[in-house]
Structure formats: C-alpha cells, structure tokens
Amino acid sequence: MSLPPRIRNFSVWLGALLGILCVAAASAQENRLPQDALRYFIDLLKLDTSNPPGHETRVAQYLKEVCDREGIGGELLGSGADRLNFVARLKGSGAGRPLLLMAHSDVVPAERDHWTVDPFVGLIKDGYIWGRGSQDTKGLLAAELAVMVELKRSGARLKRDVIFLSEADEEAGSTGIQWLVTNVWDMIDAEFALNEGGSADLLE
C-alpha cells in the first residue's frame, strides 16, 4: 500500500539514516522498509509510556521481540522492572568505532480531554499519525529499529558496530540514559550518536 501524503515525510528519517550508513537498501525501493517502519511506529504509539510513571519496559520488550525475531542480539537493562532500557548491537569489521542510534521511549502525559482521539490508539487519520509520542520521539525510535532490521536482513558489511539504544528517559538523574552512562557505559560507548538532541552534562 502507498503511504498517505503527510506520512511519506516519515521515510525521510529512514533515507537519512541509511544514507549516513552508506547502505543501498533494495527493500526501500520495494516499500518494505518504510512499511516496516510505519508498522513499528503504530505499534509503539499504542504502548502507553507516559512519564510519570513511565512503564517504558513495554517498549523495551517490544523492541527485543522484534530484534529477537530478526536475529539481532539485544538486552533489557535498568534498575527497575517497569522502566527498562533496551540495547542491541550489529557487529562490524572494527575498522571504525561504533555508531549509536538512540531515542527515548517515554512520553509526556496526555490530557485526554484535550484529545479528539484516544492518545494511545496509534491512528492514521486525515494523512496524519495520531498518538502521544508521534513527534517526541517514537517516530525516530521506529525509524532506527527499521534501519537495524534492514541492515541485518541485507547482510550489510559494516565497518563499525551499530548500536541501537532505547533509553527509558533522556533526562539527567533518570533511570534511563543516566543509569546507562553510569552502569554500562562500555555497551553504548560510540564515536558518533544520532539522536533528537542532547548535551554532555551527563558526563560531568
């Protein structure tokens, strides 16, 4: 099926990520890649990870199920059962240091009386994708997952490891990125990171 006009822009994330990785994905021309990403996106939007309280483990488990199915090794990590992070890795030749694809899985709470649809329905309506987290930032998370899957399926010969990280919370002092930096830095240490933004405050 073809993507609605305003949703086609979502595939820009995919093309940009693949371009940076210098991967020629035949599946993208066949629409498999954007369709997979859209499916992941809708699935992720249906998982209520409003913070507080979080429950980001719902997303971490979903990502692990997808990666397990595709033969991509990954781990659930964190200090609390309800707020786990997910880290997966594709091995490269080691010619370069790793590239980190990262995004947070929590969303801000939704005031349901301000919504005309269920904020966790993952609805495509009027050419838009409706759902809390559609812009911040489950779209990026879905695109990165789709790229990891495509890299694995295509057998891409990588010069560096590619790490996929879904952190439960992107804020300093959190059980998400702060916990990961403090406890498992070696698992996410990379030369480059692609993310929505950030700072180096966590390392000070």
List active site positions: 106, 170
| 3 state DSSP class of 81 | coil
What residues contact residue 203 under an 8 Å CB cut-off, 6+ apart?
Answer: 181
**Helix/strand/coil (H/E/C) assignment for every residue in 51-117:** CCCCCCHHHHHHHHHHHHHHCCCEEEECCCCCCCEEEEEECCCCCCCCEEEEEECCECCCCHHHCCC
Angle, CA of 74, 137 and 38, to the nearest 5°: 75
SS3 167: strand
Element at 152 (helix H, strand E): helix 138-154
Handedness of CA 92, 98, 99, 101 (dihedral sign): positive
